[in-house]
A and B are shown apart, each in its own frame.
Chain A
Amino acid sequence: MRKVYLDNAATTPLLPEVREAMMPYLDETFGNPSSLHEWGDGAREAIETARAQVAQLIEANDDEIIFTGSGTEANNLAIKGLALAQQAKGKHVVVSAIEHFSVLHSARTLEKWGFELSEVPVDKYGVVNPEDVRKSLRKDTVLVSVMHANGEVGTIEPVQEIAQITRESNVVFHTDAVATAGTIPVDVKELGVDAMSLAGNQFYGPKGVGALWVRKGIRIMPLLDGGIQESGRRAGTENVPAIAGLGKAAELAKTDMAGRIKQLTPLRDRLLKELPSKIEHVVVTGHPQHRLPGHVSFCVEFIEGESMLMLLNSQGIAVSSGSACTSRALKASHVLIAMGLSHEIAQGSILFTLGIDNIAEDIDYVLETMPPIVDRLRQMSPLYSKFTKASKGGK
């Protein structure tokens, strides 16, 4: 059976070159980077090389990069650390309604700690209106966080425009770039943001490693106390192999980015266009044009995402879904609901995220496999039989 992995938003595979770059630190160069001997020196050099590679990917300075244990940790550090460092100035924080839970829930924790939180809405494509951000700003606003792109619906946000507004008001602006850094060009100077999160497993690096970039001069309160690793901003012995892998992945992403985008975009556009022409009552979620290069997302009406996912899996196709049934919390995706979709439609969420291993034949296979699966589930669905009876009755 053909195997087609289309869940790169969950994690990309590890590139062989990245694995090679990690191996020495799982082997002979096992030292602790804080140690002052030869073993420590090798590990420390690995981290500093990776720091430069990551900085180059986003056009930043090396000493502005803080390595973390994940994108989630980078977001936690940004939201809590940037807000706490400025609490003498004010206690109001602004985030968008479609942020990843690591941003949204961090902001809600701040609320419990006495901060006030404003959530900026999105339109039907999941786009934040910069003017809504402007309206949400107050005298005591200390932090705004709007993601660079949403991993669930693929929409790219107008971060540059929002940064102009926050700069005029002298408010610190963080963007969660986990879905974009290493995937599309990200230049912190051009974007005009003050802090940015990224994660290794989104661009063919290892899992369990991320980074937060914080512009020089911006204060941040560490969340982990301990030694002076990462200039005292993130204590704890570094995950040296993972950091080395992240660095290598960043270097490769920078050199190969244009080619990867060129490869993924036509595959994405074909699936976006052809699947709704093969299956009736399918809604594209997210922005039709301003979206991530490998990102295709739909809601299929009258059926539920988990059962679709399981049947696709039985045919060798790996996807994900934002339906209530697939989430551990058993709640429909907050992103789809914020975009104004009903719970019923959101239940049919399905997400194909392409990667550099995908070829045209993979898309052919999905286009051939998906319609009978949808048909099978619709034949089983009481919602579909109600719909067909109602539309027949109408005629």
Chain B
Amino acid sequence: MPVYNEKVMDHFMNPRNVGEIENPDGVGEVGNPVCGDMMTFYIKVKDNRLQDVKFKTFGCGAAIAVSSMVSEMAKGKTLEEAKKITPKSVADELEGLPKQKFHCSNLGAQALNKAIEDYQSKKKVKGGKER
């Protein structure tokens, strides 16, 4: 078992923002069970800001801690700010991840990004209809 630092352990033991959002504005899913980890992010957007962020994660301790940290970092940010969250900035916020866990489990930022893209593409379609 890899040695996780205290901050990672805290986010694993007490993950923030676990769950689903009913009628979300955007959903992003990455990973698959074969590679080990799978994450789904749900977002609610108001005035271009992430009013709510929730997630569900199948995976190891690092995957759960990463998801929790991403949700915490993203909440309240504008979409542009949230899109700047990267695997590196998440790992830095968590004060480091074990080397072998960095790539496979650090999918949270990607899942969040996908959820934002999902929201933006839906908005475009909706906007088109209104015209």
Contacts and interface: CB of A to CB of B under 8 A. Distances in A.
Interface of A: 302-304, 306-307, 309-311, 313-314, 323-326, 328, 330, 332, 342-344, 347, 379-385
Nearest to B31: A382
Nearest to B64: A307
Contacts of A382: 29, 38-40, 56-58
Given A379-B18, A380-B64, A303 B37 contact: no
Contact of B59 (A325, A379, A384): A325
Given A325-B60, A381-B56, A381-B58, A304 B36 contact: yes
B60 to A, nearest CB: 4
Nearest to B39: A382
Contacts of A380: 15, 18, 56-58, 64
A385 B60 contact: no
A379 B55 CA distance: 11
A307 B18 contact: no
A347 B33 CA distance: 7
Interface in B2-16: 12-13, 15
A344 B29 CA distance: 16
A323 to B, nearest CB: 7
A330 B57 contact: no
Given A380-B57, A382-B57, A383-B58, A310 B34 contact: no
A324 B57 contact: no
B58 A302 contact: yes
A222 B33 CA distance: 43
Contacts of A313: 1
A307 B59 contact: yes
B21 interface: no
29 contacts: A302-B58, A304-B37, A304-B59, A304-B63, A307-B59, A307-B61, A307-B63, A309-B1, A314-B13, A323-B36, A324-B35, A324-B36, A325-B62, A326-B1, A330-B100, A332-B34, A343-B34, A344-B34, A347-B36, A347-B58, A379-B18, A380-B56, A380-B57, A382-B39, A382-B56, A382-B57, A382-B58, A385-B20, A385-B56
Main secondary structure of the interface of B (DSSP, over half): mixed
Contacts of A304: 36-37, 58-60, 63
Interface string B60-90: 1111100000000000000000000000000
B113 interface: no
Contacts of A332: 34, 36
Contacts of B39: 382
Contacts of B35: 324
B98 to A, nearest CB: 10
A344 B39 CA distance: 14
B86 to A, nearest CB: 21
B12 to A, nearest CB: 7
Contacts of A324: 35-36
Contacts of A347: 33, 36, 58
A383 B34 CA distance: 12
Contact of A306 (B1, B18, B56): B1
Nearest to A346: B33
A330 B64 contact: no
